[in-house]
Amino acid sequence: MEQVSVLIAGGGVVGSAIACALVERGISDVCVIDLDLAGTYASSELNAGGARATWWQEVNVASCRDTIEFFREHAETFSFRPWGYLWLYEDRALFGKALERRALQTRLGLDIEVLEPREVAERFPLIDRGLEGIVGATFSPGDGLLNPNAVRRWYRERAEAGGARFLNRHYVEGIELVEQAPGRRRVERVHVVELAKSDATDEGRTIERVLTQHRVDPELALDHPSIRPGHFVNALGAWSPLLDAKLGTRSVSVPVRRQISMVDVRERDLPAGVDLKRLGMIVEPSGLYLHSEGPYVLAGYSDPAEPSGYAFHYDGDAFFTEQVWPRLAGLSSAFERCGHVRGWAGLYSVTPDCSGIVGRVAGVANAIEAHSFTGRGVMQSRAIGRGVAELIVDGRFGSLDLSPLDARRFERDRTHWVIEDLHI
């Protein structure tokens, strides 16, 4: 049976960032397995390319701030464009909360301007409608846009150059756990996907073997090739609940579909002085966001009324006409006659407080989890990768304390949580 120091399930941006950080810490015996490294159903490949640090929970602000700093250092490689995030508010209470959180964000080193509607009109001539409903706005000039695929590729190439292996078409079929109680060594095979709450203590069980299946080879599929991991990391993104089930631990994450439309705007419809090719992120009051993407405008939105689930279909013209166009046209006359080019849909993995999960898996000594980063996985990736590598190599977080992201927070009642209301 093959043995590796660290086995990472999931080769999206998070799994790749972890592999990269491990190699940087001198651990080259790292294996990443993925069902489909091309990322057909990976959130990393379906991403909108935004990066901001204006979150409401300190750990999210700090991890995004550090990751954006890393993007800035490699701006050319990642096509990082610091064109800022403009956030428009219609709801007074929400705007008040944003101002309250600005104090925390400023303390953590961010530069955030507060704008009155008049200033929005002056500085962002594209926005020539709906200003009467706006109570205020924030603008964070250090935030920006980037190519998320280039980020994932960079992590992977660096990890591979340092010895890490990425195995495609492998999926986690089962997990063998060993009971570690004194005098007992019981091997438990879990193949059935079934949610169960674990009552084991932290040191209770260890992952003995991870049974993988190579999908394209029917013969291999019969004998379940297996890997014995020193440490095992669940970096399956929106698919992480399936692994929680195999480990017998409770999952709190749900997949939520987000759709993206590419919009064509006619040059002659633009107000004077607007360069659509340099449009940073704008978030309008109902939560639709937009920014320039090549010759088009990219607009993303999730319908809050839609039930959670593994849905990847794009609703096409119906989505554009009913959800995207009215919001865009409510913001600017430039969108009155815009066209729908195409679009796609992908999954946010959302937890009850809309923050990711990073830490040791309760009840399984050598298992670590890093998943469910809602709409934040790329912009947090460098800090998460480093943190998980530190947890494995040093036994604790070092560069940034990620312990507020430990899943055990959900065992406390919700009055202890900091809920990221603005998780887009």
Ligand X SMILES: Cc1cc2nc3c(=O)[nH]c(=O)nc-3n(C[C@H](O)[C@H](O)[C@H](O)COP(=O)(O)OP(=O)(O)OC[C@H]3O[C@@H](n4cnc5c(N)ncnc54)[C@H](O)[C@@H]3O)c2cc1C
Nearer residue to ligand X within complex by CB, 11 or 387: 11
3-state secondary structure of 7: strand
Neighbouring residues of 107: CB distance < 8 A, sequence distance ≥ 6: none
Nearer to ligand X, 285 or 300 (CB): 300
In angstroms, give the least distance from the CB of 372 to ligand X. Answer: 8
Q: 3-class DSSP state for residue 280?
A: coil
CA-CA distance, 37 to 170, in Å (whole number)? 9
* Residue 379 beta carbon to ligand X: minimum distance, rounded to whole angstroms: 4
In the block, tokens 């815009």 appear at 338
Grouping H, G, I as helix, E, B as strand and the rest as coil, residue 204 is coil
180 versus 308: smaller Cβ distance to ligand X: 308
Contact 312, 320 (CB under 8 A): no
Q: Closest CB to ligand X among 312 and 417?
A: 312
Q: Where are the beta strands (DSSP E) in 186-338?
A: 187-190, 205-214, 226-234, 254-264, 281-283, 289-293, 296-301
3-state secondary structure of 424: coil
Q: How far is the CB of 33 from ligand X (least distance, A)?
A: 5
To ligand X, the closest distance from the beta carbon of 413 in angstroms equals 26
Write the CB contacts of 68 (distance below 8 Å, at least 6 apart in sequence).
51, 52, 53, 142, 143, 144, 379
**What is the Cβ-side half-sphere exposure of residue 377, based on CA atoms within 13 angstroms?**
33
Enclosing H/E stretch for 155? helix 148-161
CB of 52 to ligand X, least distance (A): 8
| Contact footprint for ligand X (CB under 6 A) | 9-15, 33-36, 39, 41-44, 46-50, 171-172, 235-239, 242, 258, 260, 300, 346-348, 371, 373, 375-379
User: What's phi and psi for 196, nearest 5 deg?
Assistant: -150, 145
Tell the smallest beta-carbon distance from residue 93 to ligand X (Å).
26
Q: How far is the CB of 258 from ligand X (least distance, A)?
A: 4
Task: Report how far residue 412's alpha carbon sits from residue 403's, in angstroms, rounded to the nearest whole number.
Answer: 14
Give the CA distances from residue 349 to residues 44, 134, 183, in Å, rounded to whole numbers and listed in that order.
12, 30, 40
Question: Nearer to ligand X by C-beta: 134 or 151?
Answer: 151
Cβ proximity to ligand X: between 280 and 300 the closer is 300
Query: Is the Cβ of residue 119 or residue 293 nearer to ligand X in the bound state?
Result: 293
- Tell me whether residue 271 or residue 352 sits nearer to ligand X (CB atom): 352
Between the alpha carbon of residue 122 and those of residues 142, 285, 291, the distances in Å are 20, 19, 19
The distance of closest approach from Cβ of residue 300 to ligand X in the complex, given in angstroms and rounded to an integer, is 6
